[in-house]
């Protein structure tokens, strides 16, 4: 059964559209379960009906015709109950509805299972048989498993199909694709995909500029690859057994297949660039092998795709066709790296859309720092088909609209204008203090990470930098930056803000922040080698960074040092020891060095409980609510699938942060928040109520949070905190705080919340 299941799933994965997914599924399930009929109803949410979408064993004409209400018939019953319905004689059940056009009167036994994707019933997969019998447990388990596996493929094919239809027609869309919030704001622009594409499916169509050059680039790539393989084949000939050599030769032969080359070249002549032509030629060839009955031949489909990927990677450096960067560019990709953002001229980049990750991914944080709207976690969209399309990015709701209708576009233009008005109004607050109505001062700092956001931070009225993420400068390079290079960057930042404080965090890589040149493979990177652990294991890297920071601080004295991912007291002792060593070395060299204040990021549950011991060792605390929320709620901050569970206003997180502030007070040490919670207007009220000293956030959020602080008394914030602590669910807390914002006349900020 497992083998059959795998085969069906593999075959379905190669289908190019929804109809193909469904027809393969019904055919294969009917065959493997040896039943008389198999069919799939899908829910049409617009009409509120189930529609028969594919059938094997029913009258073919009934497909697309039979429709029933979502509560109707045995299909409706399966959907309603969200569990299998297994009947000896379907017609005897009170919910049975007869559709003459299907010809199903011949059948008695019925087994229907729901097709569910992320809690949503997409449809029903059912089998029927003439005999009167109940399906056994193994058969039920098999169908349930198939339905669960199909759900993702059906959802993907449905979304992709919808987009493909849209792109192939002149139609404009009013419907959106839901992802998760990445960075607030609204952008209207043109989609740009960045190379290199690592998957063939992501390659877009692009008009070829010079057909002859493109063809030549393709042919020379294939020849070069063949040559390389042949050469290494000759080397292997002496080492490999004869069977392995035969496999190798088949691979080389497939690579040079006349058919494959001719069909790619034909597509180039039709006007597509080589990578796009290759994508279609490979898909066509692989499909032929996929359909073969013989197991050995079917497995060659994987070779064809592999060859395609090989050629693709090589081809991208040779193809002459480049993506144009339009004036209002929305960068879209499966995963977008900090380095890719750096490739786009900043004045042209208006939005970011990422298929993977959530609002806590570092690319989303960077988008917020830069004030660029972003949507994350859209899943498996046909990325390649979207290149060059118009798009609306709604960073507040986490949605995108591809090829929006004029009505949708106008509505978003209006919202963007309102947004600009609100920001302009808030600009007046720039020089006013962040002071509550009853005179309590909270310092507002900016989070930064690139030299380009210094200007933004200064313009926002930030009183300093509360979190400078030094890792961003490490992520856009091909190897570790040396002391001098780091010194230049840190010096610029410190000088730009002096005498205002700049809190620089030592290298915080690992987790979702891999360095391309420090290859670490871990099953569970968030629990693994990250933050201070890497720095302490590599004193040569850590000391270089500390020296660069201390040198940059000379004559300015506004550096504060922040240690990330502390989970053990000993880590702080070791880090402080290395800091003293770096300081002494500089003094010994006759250079000026002032020891900075040292703080700890409280972002692990263990740091909360160790706070009294930590307070004896450091000068201040900064709560990293992004990681703290992930570790307290056990929700991966980057996983779009569980993004709905990630909420800094969860009662457990509120209690945890309150505890940190309380313990820091007992240790007489100042405490701030530098996670995204600080820039969330609703959460800022709660933090004010707790008596926070400092909030550090993306510069764009500073005016909003200042408005909140200046609109409440600390007493009122305390009352709201007490009310929040009485509530049991995050949604209720957010709702209550949003109502308080509305009541205080700050309704315009509610949209900006999560």
Residues that bind ligand PEP (CB under 6 A): 365, 467, 469, 508, 603, 624-627, 674-675
**Binding range to Mg ion, per CB under 5 A, among 453-461, 626-634, 652-660, 732-740:** 626-634
Q: What is the DSSP letter of 526?
A: G
Least Å distance, CB 706 to Mg ion, is 24
- Judged by CB under 5 A, does residue 624 bind Mg ion? yes
Q: Which is nearer to Mg ion, 624 or 672 (CB)?
A: 624
> Which of the listed partners (Mg ion, ligand PEP, none) does 359 bind, with a CB threshold of 5 to 8 Å by partner kind?
none
Number of DSSP helices (H) and strands (E) in the chain, helices first: 26, 22
Count of residues near Mg ion by CB under 5 A:
3
Smallest distance, Mg ion to C-beta of residue 514, A: 15
Contact partner, 394, from Mg ion, ligand PEP, none, Cβ < 5-8 Å per class: none
> How are strands ordered across the β-sheet holding 37-44?
67-69, 49-56, 37-44, 120-129, 109-117, 85-87
Tokens of 410: 């106008």
Min CB(633)–ligand PEP separation in Å = 13
Window 95 to 134, contacts with Mg ion (CB under 5 A): none
| Burial class of residue 368 in the structure, from the number of CB atoms within 10 Å of its CB (0-12 exposed, 13-18 middle, 19+ buried) | buried
**Minimum gap (Å) between residue 657 Cβ and ligand PEP:** 11
512 binds, among Mg ion, ligand PEP, none (CB under 5 to 8 A by kind): none
Residue whose CB is less far from Mg ion, 56 or 603: 603
Burial of 185 (C-beta count, 10 Å sphere; 0-12/13-18/19+): buried
Q: Which does 149 bind (CB under 5 to 8 A by kind): Mg ion, ligand PEP, none?
A: none
C-beta separation of 392 from 409 below 8 A: yes
Closer residue to Mg ion in complex, CB, 12/600:
600
Q: Rank residues 74 and 649 by Cβ distance to ligand PEP and give the closer one.
A: 649
Site string for Mg ion, 555-594 (x = CB under 5 A): ----------------------------------------
The length of the chain in residues reads: 754
Q: From Mg ion, ligand PEP, none, which one binds at residue 372 (CB under 5 to 8 Å depending on kind)?
A: none
What b/e sequence results for 593-607 when a residue is b if at least 16 CB atoms lie within 10 Å of its CB, and e otherwise?
beebebbbbbbbeeb
Q: At what angle do helices 406-427 and 702-711 cross, to 10 degrees?
A: 60
Closer by beta carbon to Mg ion, 274 or else 674: 674
CB atoms within 10 A of CB 162: 15
Which residue's CB is nearer to Mg ion, number 563 or number 740? 563
β-bridge mates for residue 467, sequence order:
447
Nearest approach, Cβ of residue 446 and ligand PEP (Å): 13
512 is an interface residue for Mg ion by CB under 5 A: no
Minimal CB distance to Mg ion: which residue?
627
Specify the residue, 37 or 657, whose C-beta has the smaller distance to Mg ion.
657
Q: Which of Mg ion, ligand PEP, none interacts with 469 (beta carbon under 5 to 8 A by kind)?
A: ligand PEP
Say which DSSP state 194 is in: P
Query: Which one is catalytic: 285, 362, 445, 583?
Result: 362
Q: Is 636 in the site for Mg ion (CB under 5 A)?
A: no
C-alpha distances in Å from residue 651, one per residue of 371, 629, 646, 734: 29, 11, 12, 11
Closest approach of ligand PEP to the CB of residue 627, in Å: 3
Smaller CB separation from ligand PEP, 154 or 515: 515
Q: Active-site residue among 329, 354, 648, 674?
A: 674
Burial class (CB in 10 A: 0-12, 13-18, 19+), 239: exposed
| Residue number, 274 or 361, with CB nearest to ligand PEP | 361
Using CB distances below 5 to 8 A depending on partner kind, what does residue 204 bind out of ligand PEP, Mg ion, none?
Answer: none
676 forms part of the interface with Mg ion (CB under 5 A): no
Site for Mg ion in 465-494 (CB under 5 A): none
Contact partner at residue 547 from ligand PEP, Mg ion, none, CB < 5 to 8 Å by partner kind: none
The candidate with the shortest Cα–Cα distance to 489, out of 318, 476, 324, 359, is 476
Binding site partner of 625, from Mg ion, ligand PEP, none, Cβ cut-off 5-8 A by kind: ligand PEP
Distance CA 664, CA 668 (A): 6
List all residues 6 or more positions away from 236 whose beta carbon is below 8 Å from its beta carbon.
244, 245, 248
Q: Which is nearer to ligand PEP, 469 or 706 (CB)?
A: 469
On the question of a cis peptide bond just before residue 196, with omega within 30 degrees of 0, the verdict is yes
CB 661 within 8 A of CB 671: yes
Place of tokens 């057909």: 211
Q: For residue 362, indicate whether it is catalytic.
A: yes
Min separation Cβ 723 and ligand PEP, Å? 25
Q: How far is the CB of 675 from ligand PEP (least distance, A)?
A: 3
Smallest separation (angstroms) from Mg ion to the CB of 603:
5
Tokens, residue 179: 């992802």
Query: Within 233-292, which residues bind Mg ion (CB under 5 A)?
Result: none
434 preceded by a cis bond (ω within 30 of 0): no
CA distance 61 to 314: 48
675 binds, among ligand PEP, Mg ion, none (CB under 5 to 8 A by kind): ligand PEP
**Minimum CB separation from ligand PEP for residue 683, in Å?**
12
Q: Say how far apart CA 357 and CA 180 lie, in whole Å.
A: 9
Q: Where are the beta strands (DSSP E) in 12-65?
A: 37-44, 49-56
**50 vs 472, which CB is nearer to ligand PEP?**
472
Q: How far is the CB of 531 from ligand PEP (least distance, A)?
A: 8
Residue 420 has a CB neighbour count (10 Å cut-off) of 11
Per CB under 5 A, the segment of 296-304, 399-407, 473-481, 595-603 that binds Mg ion is: 595-603
Neighbouring CB atoms inside 10 A of 644's CB total: 12
Window of 16-24, 28-36, 471-479, 597-605 that interacts with Mg ion by CB under 5 A: 597-605
DSSP string, 447-462: EE-STTHHHHHHHTT-
Cα dihedral value 528, 531, 534, 536, nearest 10: -120
Report yes or no: 254 and 260 within 8 Å, Cβ to Cβ.
Answer: yes
- By CB under 5 A, tell whether 627 contacts Mg ion: yes
CA dihedral over 511, 514, 519, 521, signed as positive or negative: positive
The residues carrying an active-site annotation are: 362, 674
Residues in contact with Mg ion by the rule CB under 5 A = 603, 624, 627
């Amino acid at each position: 059964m497992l083998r059959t299941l795998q085969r069906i799933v593999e075959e379905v994965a190669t289908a190019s559209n929804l109809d193909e997914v469904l027809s393969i599924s019904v055919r294969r399930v009917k065959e493997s379960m040896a039943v008389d009929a198999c069919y799939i109803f899908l829910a049409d949410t617009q009409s509120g009906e189930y529609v028969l979408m594919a059938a094997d064993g029913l009258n073919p004409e009934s497909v697309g015709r039979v429709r029933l209400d979502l509560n109707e018939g045995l299909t409706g019953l399966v959907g309603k109950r969200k569990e299998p319905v297994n009947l000896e004689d379907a017609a005897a059940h009170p919910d049975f509805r007869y559709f003459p056009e299907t010809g199903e009167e011949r059948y008695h036994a019925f087994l229907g299972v729901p097709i569910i994707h992320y809690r949503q019933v997409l449809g029903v997969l059912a089998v029927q048989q003439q005999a009167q019998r109940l399906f056994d447990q193994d058969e039920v388990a098999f169908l349930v498993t198939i339905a669960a596996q199909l759900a993702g493929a059906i959802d993907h094919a449905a979304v992709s199909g919808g987009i493909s239809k849209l792109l192939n027609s002149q139609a404009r869309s009013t419907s959106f694709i839901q992802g998760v919030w990445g960075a607030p704001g609204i952008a209207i622009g043109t989609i740009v995909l960045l190379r290199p594409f690592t998957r063939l499916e992501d390659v877009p169509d692009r008009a070829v500029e010079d057909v002859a050059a493109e063809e030549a680039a393709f042919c020379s790539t294939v020849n070069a690859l063949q040559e390389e393989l042949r050469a290494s084949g000759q080397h292997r000939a002496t080492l490999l057994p004869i069977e392995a050599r035969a496999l190798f030769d088949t691979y080389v032969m497939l690579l040079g297949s006349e058919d494959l080359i001719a069909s790619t070249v034909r597509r180039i002549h039709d006007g597509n660039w080589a990578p796009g032509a290759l994508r279609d030629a490979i898909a066509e060839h692989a499909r032929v092998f996929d359909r073969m009955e013989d197991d050995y031949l079917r497995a060659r489909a994987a070779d064809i795709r592999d060859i395609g990927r090989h050629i693709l990677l090589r081809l991208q450096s040779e193809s002459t066709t480049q993506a144009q960067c339009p004036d209002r560019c929305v960068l879209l990709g499966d995963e977008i790296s900090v380095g890719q953002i750096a490739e786009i001229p900043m004045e042209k980049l208006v939005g970011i859309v990422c298929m993977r990750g959530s609002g806590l991914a570092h690319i989303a944080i960077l988008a917020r720092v830069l004030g660029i709207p972003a949507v994350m976690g859209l899943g498996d969209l046909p990325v390649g088909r979207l290149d060059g399309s118009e798009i609306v990015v709604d960073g507040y709701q986490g949605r995108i609209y591809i090829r929006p209708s004029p009505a949708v576009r106008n509505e978003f233009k209006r919202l963007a204008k309102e947004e600009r008005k609100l920001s302009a109004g808030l600009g007046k607050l720039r020089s006013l203090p962040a002071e509550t109505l009853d005179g309590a001062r909270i310092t507002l700092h900016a989070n930064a990470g690139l030299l380009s956001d210094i200007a933004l931070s200064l313009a926002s009225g930030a009183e300093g930098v509360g979190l400078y993420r030094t890792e961003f400068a490490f992520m856009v390079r091909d190897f570790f930056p040396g002391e001098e290079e780091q010194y230049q960057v840190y010096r610029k930042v410190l000088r730009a803000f002096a005498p205002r404080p700049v809190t620089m965090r030592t290298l915080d890589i690992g987790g979702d922040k891999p360095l391309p040149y420090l290859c670490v493979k871990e099953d569970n990177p968030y629990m693994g080698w990250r933050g201070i652990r890497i720095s302490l294991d590599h004193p040569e890297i850590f000391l270089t960074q500390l020296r660069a920071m201390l040198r940059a601080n000379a004559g300015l004295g506004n550096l504060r040092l922040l240690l990330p991912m502390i989970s053990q007291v000993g880590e702080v002792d070791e880090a402080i020891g290395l800091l003293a060593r770096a300081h002494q070395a500089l003094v010994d060299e006759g250079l000026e060095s002032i020891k900075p204040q040292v703080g700890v990021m409280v972002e692990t549950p263990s740091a909360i409980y160790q706070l009294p011991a930590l307070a004896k060792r450091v000068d201040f605390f900064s709560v990293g609510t992004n990681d703290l929320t992930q570790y307290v709620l056990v929700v991966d901050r980057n996983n779009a699938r569980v993004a709905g569970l990630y909420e800094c206003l969860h009662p457990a997180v509120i209690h945890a942060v309150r505890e940190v502030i309380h313990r820091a007070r007992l240790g007489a040490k100042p405490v701030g928040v530098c996670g995204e919670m600080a820039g969330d207007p609703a959460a800022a009220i709660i933090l004010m109520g707790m008596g926070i000293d400092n909030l550090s956030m993306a510069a764009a959020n500073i005016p909003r949070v200042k408005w909140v602080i200046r609109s409440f008394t600390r007493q009122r914030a305390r009352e709201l905190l007490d009310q929040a602590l009485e509530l049991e669910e995050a949604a209720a807390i957010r709702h209550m705080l949003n109502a308080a914002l509305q009541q205080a006349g700050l309704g315009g900020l509610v949209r900006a919340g999560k």
